[in-house]
C-alpha cells in the first residue's frame, strides 16, 4: 500500500459540506439500537439490508443489537427514467431467509422518493412475515409524498446528492466515515 493511499483515503475538496459527521452517526445509532432493543424485547429480529448502500449502517447497527439478530440481504434495481425512481422494482438478489412468522426490520441507507421502499414493504409483507418495519439512516424531503411508515429514522437531510457511509457516486465514496454533499463539479466533469 502506498503512503499516499494509506494517509489520504479521501480529499475534502470533493465535498461542499459534511451533512452528518461520524460522531453524529455513532450517537444516532446508539439511540436507534436502544429503541429497537426495547421495541423487540423477547423477539427475534431479522435485519434485511438493501445492497449496496446499507452495508455500513447494517454493520454498525447490527453490532449494537443482541447477538440473536440475523442479517439477510437483498439487491434491487428501480426501473426509471434517468436518476428518478419509478417504483417499478426488479429483484437482483433475493433473500435467503423464509420470512414466515418473522419480525423483519428493513435497514436502509437513504429514502429519497420512497418508491423503492414502498415496493419493498409490500413485497416482504406478502411473504407471511409477522411484522415488517423500516430503519433508515437518512431521509430526504420528497419521502413525505409517499405513504410509508418508517419506524426509525436517523436524520432528515436536504435534497442534495450525498455520498459516504455506504452511499456512492459511480461506486466511489462508499467508505467515507461520514455523509457529505458532493460538489457538483465532481459529477459534471468527465
Ligand atoms: P427512492 O426510491 O427512495 O430511492 O427514490 C432511494 C435510493 O436512491 C438512491 N439515492 C441516493 N444515493 N446519494 C446516493 O448515493 C443520494 O443522495 C441518494 N438519494 C437517493 C439510493 O440508492 C437509495 O437507496
Ligand atoms: Mg439504497
pLDDT in tens, the chain (190 residues): 455 555 566 788 999 999 999 999 999 999 999 999 999 999 999 999 999 999 999 999 999 999 999 999 999 987 655 555 666 789 999 999 999 999 999 999 999 988 889 999 999 999 999 999 999 999 998 877 777 889 999 999 999 999 999 999 999 999 999 999 999 888 786 5
Q: What are phi and psi of 151, to 5 degrees?
A: -70, -40
Structure confidence at residue 161 (pLDDT): 93
The partner residues of 74 in beta bridges, in order of sequence, read: 50
| Spatial separation of the C-alpha atoms in residues 134 and 123, rounded to whole Å | 13
CA of 1 to the centre of ligand 2 (A): 30
Q: What is the pTM of this model?
A: 0.91
What the block records as the C-alpha cell of 73 is 440481504
| Spatial separation of the C-alpha atoms in residues 34 and 46, rounded to whole Å | 16
Structure confidence at residue 1 (pLDDT): 47
Architecture of domain 20-177: 3-Layer(aba) Sandwich (3.40)
Q: Taking the C-alpha atoms of 109, 188, 92 and 118 in order, what is their torsion angle to the nearest 10 degrees?
A: 50
What residue owns the CA closest to ligand 1's atom 5? 113
What residue owns the CA closest to ligand 1's atom 19? 112
Catalytic residue (choose from 112, 160, 168, 190):
112
Establish whether 112 is a catalytic residue. yes
Structure confidence at residue 152 (pLDDT): 98
The candidate with the shortest Cα–Cα distance to 118, out of 146, 99, 155, is: 146
What contacts 168, CB < 8 A, 6 or more positions away?
A: 52, 53, 174
Amino acid at each position: 500500500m502506498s503512503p499516499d493511499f494509506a494517509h489520504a483515503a479521501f480529499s475534502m475538496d470533493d465535498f461542499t459540506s459534511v451533512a452528518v459527521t461520524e460522531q453524529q452517526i455513532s450517537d444516532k445509532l446508539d439511540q436507534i439500537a436502544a429503541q429497537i432493543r426495547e421495541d423487540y424485547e423477547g423477539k427475534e429480529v431479522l435485519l434485511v439490508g438493501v445492497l449496496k448502500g446499507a452495508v455500513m449502517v447494517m454493520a454498525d447497527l447490527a453490532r449494537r443489537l443482541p447477538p440473536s439478530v440475523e442479517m439477510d440481504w437483498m439487491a434491487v434495481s428501480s426501473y426509471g427514467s434517468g436518476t428518478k425512481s419509478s417504483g417499478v422494482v426488479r429483484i437482483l438478489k433475493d433473500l435467503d431467509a423464509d420470512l414466515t412468522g418473522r419480525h423483519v426490520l428493513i435497514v436502509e441507507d437513504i429514502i429519497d422518493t420512497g418508491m423503492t421502499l414502498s415496493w419493498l414493504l409490500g413485497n416482504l409483507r406478502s411473504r407471511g412475515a409477522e411484522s415488517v418495519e423500516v430503519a433508515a439512516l437518512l431521509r430526504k424531503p420528497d419521502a413525505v409524498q409517499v405513504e410509508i411508515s418508517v419506524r426509525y429514522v436517523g436524520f432528515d437531510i436536504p435534497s442534495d446528492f450525498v455520498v459516504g457511509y455506504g452511499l456512492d457516486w459511480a461506486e466511489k465514496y462508499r467508505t467515507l466515515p461520514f455523509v457529505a454533499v458532493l460538489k457538483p463539479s465532481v459529477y459534471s466533469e468527465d
